[in-house]
Chain A
Amino acid sequence: MVEALPNPEKEVVKIILLALAILIFMGVAIVLFFYFSRKKIIKTQLEKAHLEIAYQKELLQATILTQEEERKRIAQDLHDAISSKLNVVSLNANFLIEKDITLEDTHRIGEGIQKVTKSVLESSRRIAHDLLPPTLEKFGLKAALEELCEEVDAAQRFQIQYNISYPEGVLSSTNELHFFRIVQELFNNTIKHSEAKAIVLSLRCSENLLSLQYTDDGKGFEVVKAKTAKGLGMSGIENRALLMNAEFMLESAPEAGMRVEIKYQRNNEH
C-alpha cells in the first residue's frame, strides 16, 4: 500500500511512524527507569531496616549481658557478706546450747554473735542500697546524686567537685533512674579504670535543657575502642541516654582524661 504513494507523502508517513516509535520507546524507557529506581530505593530502605533491627538486637544482647553480670555480682555479694557470716552465727549459737559452758564463755560468744549480726545487717543494708538507693525514691534525684558524690568523696581516693541543680519533676521517674545509673556508671568507670585524681560533676537545668557534665583527669582511652568494648560501661551509658532521647557526647584520649556530656531537651518529656 505504502509503496504506491507518491514520495513526499511516503516520507511524512515514515517520519510520523518513526516519531511514534520513538515516543513509545521513550515511554517504555521512562516506565522501566521508574520501576528499577523504585526497586533500588525499596532495597536500600530494607537494608536500613535490617541494620536497625541488628542494632536493636545488639542492644538487647548488651542489656541481657549486663543483667546477668549484675545477678552474678549480687549472688557473690550475698554469698560473701551474708551467708558466710550467718554460718559463723549459727556455729556460735551451737556453742551456746552446749551444757558445760561457763558464763564467761556465754558472754564472749554472745558478744561475738552480736558483732557478726551487726555486720550482716550492715552488709544487707549496703547491698539493698546498691541495688536501688532509697534516697532516689524518697528524696529525689538531686539528693541521690549528692549522696553518691559524698560516698565517693568519703572514700578519699579523689578530689571531687560537684554542683547539682535539679528542680523536681523535670524528668519522669524512669528517666531519673536512667540519669542516676549513668552517673553511677561514670563513677564506677573512673574508680575502676582511670587512676584519676579529680572528678568534676555538674548538672545544670535551664528552661529547656538539662545538661550533665562529667570530667575526670585519669589516663583516658580511645573513644572508638571504648564504645565497642563490652567491659567498659560506655555502651551501657550511651544506651541509657538513647533510651531517654538524650544527646550523648564522649571526649577522651589516652593520657588526657575523659569528658562526658549528656544533653536532654526538656520539651521531649513524655
Chain B
Amino acid sequence: MGEIIDVISDVTVYGSAALAFIYLIGFNRFDKAYKFFTLYLLTIAVIQLGMKAWKWYFEGQSNLFLFFYFFTLQFLWISLFYKELLKFKLMGYLLIGVFVLIGIQYWLDPGLYLRYNPLGISMTQMILVVYSLLYLYRNLTERGNFYLVNIGFLIYFSSSTLIFTAGNLAFDDDFVKSISWILVKVNVVIYFIFQILIFVEWWKHYRIPKKRLSK
C-alpha cells in the first residue's frame, strides 16, 4: 500500500508539470478564467518540482518557506479564476482584504515565514470552497466552463483544508511521524483524483483538435 502511494505521489509531482504544460498550449486561445487557471497549475508545478529538487540538494532542511508561496499564490490565482467565472465585484475586495490580513500576520511574526501557517491556509481555502459552491449553484441552470475542475476544487479544498490544518501536528516533536504520514498519503490520493478531473476537463473541452491547428 505504501509503495503505491509513493508511486502516486511521484505521479502527482510530474503530473502537475504535465498538466501545466498541456494547459499552456491553449493559453492564448481561451478566456481569462482559463489563463488564471493555467497560471495556478504553473505555480503548483514549479513549487512541486522545487520541493523535489530541494529534497535532493538540501536533504533534511526545511522547505516550509515554499509553503508560503504555495498558499498565497494558490489563493491569488484561484480567486481571480473564480472572479472571472462568477463576476462578483466583492471578490476583488475580499482578495485584497485577505492579503492585507496575511501581510499583518507576517509583519507581526516574521518567523512564521519559515514555519507552517494553518490559519492562512484554512482561511484562504475555505473562501475558495465557498466560491466553488457558488459556482456549482450558478451551474444549476446554465452550462459554464470548468464544471469538472470546480467539483475537483470543492472536494480537494474542503478535505485538504482539514489535512493542512491538522498538519501542524506533524511538526510537534512529541507527535509520532507516522500519523502525519497518513494525512500526507490521504492528501496525495485526493490530489491525484483532482488531477484526473483537471485532465478530463482539458481532454473534453480544451484539447485542440488537429483540424483547428491547421487553420
Contacts and interface: CB of A to CB of B under 8 A. Distances in A.
A5 B176 CA distance: 8
Contact of B140 (A1, A9, A19, A37): A37
Contacts of B133: 30
A37 B158 CA distance: 21
A37 B140 CA distance: 7
Interface in A12-43: 12-13, 16-17, 19-20, 23-24, 26-28, 30-31, 34, 37-38, 41
A251 B137 CA distance: 44
A238 B136 CA distance: 42
Closest 10 CB pairs of A and B: A27-B155, A34-B136, A1-B178, A23-B159, A16-B166, A27-B158, A38-B140, A31-B151, A13-B179, A24-B159
A2 interface: yes
Contacts of A13: 179, 182
Contacts of B166: 16
Contacts of B159: 20, 23-24, 27
Given A20-B162, A24-B159, A9 B183 contact: no
Given A1-B178, A24-B158, 12 more contacts: A2-B182, A9-B179, A17-B186, A20-B186, A24-B159, A26-B158, A30-B133, A31-B136, A34-B136, A34-B140, A37-B140, A38-B139
Interface of B: 133, 136-137, 139-141, 151, 154-155, 158-159, 162-163, 166, 169, 175-176, 178-179, 182-183, 186, 190
A26 B161 CA distance: 14
A50 to B, nearest CB: 18
A16 B139 CA distance: 32
Contacts of A41: 140-141
A1 B5 CA distance: 16
A41 B137 CA distance: 12
A5 B151 contact: no
A41 B193 CA distance: 28
A154 B155 CA distance: 81
A16 to B, nearest CB: 5
B39 to A, nearest CB: 25
Contacts of B178: 1-2, 5
A81 B50 CA distance: 99
A1 B136 CA distance: 40
28 contacts: A2-B182, A9-B179, A12-B169, A13-B179, A13-B182, A16-B162, A16-B166, A16-B183, A17-B182, A19-B162, A20-B159, A20-B186, A23-B158, A23-B159, A24-B159, A24-B190, A27-B155, A27-B159, A30-B133, A30-B136, A30-B154, A31-B151, A31-B155, A34-B137, A34-B139, A34-B140, A38-B140, A38-B141
A20 B162 CA distance: 7
A29 to B, nearest CB: 11
A156 to B, nearest CB: 61
Contacts of A17: 182, 186
Contact of B155 (A9, A19, A28, A38): A28
A199 B87 CA distance: 59
A23 B187 CA distance: 13
Nearest to B179: A13
Contacts of A24: 155, 158-159, 190
Nearest to B175: A9
Among the interface residues A12, A28, A31, which one has the most CB atoms of the partner chain B within 10 A? A31
